[in-house]
Amino acid sequence: MTDSTSQGRFLQIGEAAERAKLTQRTLRYYEEKGLLAPPTRMEGGFRLYSPEDMERIERIRQLKELLGFSLAEIKEMLDAEDVRLQIRAGWRADADAAEKAEKLRRAREVTLHQIQLIDQKMAKMASMREQLAERIRKYDEALLKYTDAGAGSEGTAQGPTAATQS
């Protein structure tokens, strides 16, 4: 984050949107969908975004842009992060072993759920990649056919092959 947000300065919605490279409408929409907690407000009702809000907005952008997550998937990921933060905040060094073990099991469970979401996205991407790789293979076969056949067969009126129609 920039110096002003890392020092604890709150940003109005316009400045927050500009720094996040989003529109004000998008920030309001994220709030409406529960991705962002309702921000602190000034007396006039203007939204004020904290450094923590800006970090969360950046996390949303990463999940959306890097992994291509839908807003519902982003909400699941953020909810899991919130659970882990609650567990961390409630951690007591003097708690008994059973309480600590239960909190660790819960943190592990929500982290496994996050991994499952990422794995599902990666499987879909791998499938799409395989389809594209197969298309390239077909194009390469067709290119070999046309380049090996010599100049006389190029430009025939037969039209595209099945490989080029994929």
9-62: pLDDT as tens digits? 899 999 999 999 999 999 999 999 999 998 888 888 888 999 999 999 999 999
d(CA 108, CA 129): 31
Residues composing the chain = 166
Containing H/E element for 1? none
**161 in Cβ contact with 142 (< 8 Å):** yes
CA 147 to chain centre: 43
Instruction: State if pTM tops 0.85.
Output: no
Q: What is the pLDDT of residues 111-163, one digit of tens each?
A: 999 999 999 999 999 999 999 999 999 999 999 999 876 555 444 444 444 44
Domain 1-66, CATH number (from 1.20.120.1630, 3.30.70.600, 1.10.1660.10, 3.30.56.10): 1.10.1660.10
Q: What is the pLDDT of residues 89-110, one digit of tens each?
A: 999 999 999 999 999 999 999 9
Q: Residue holding tokens 């010599």?
A: 150
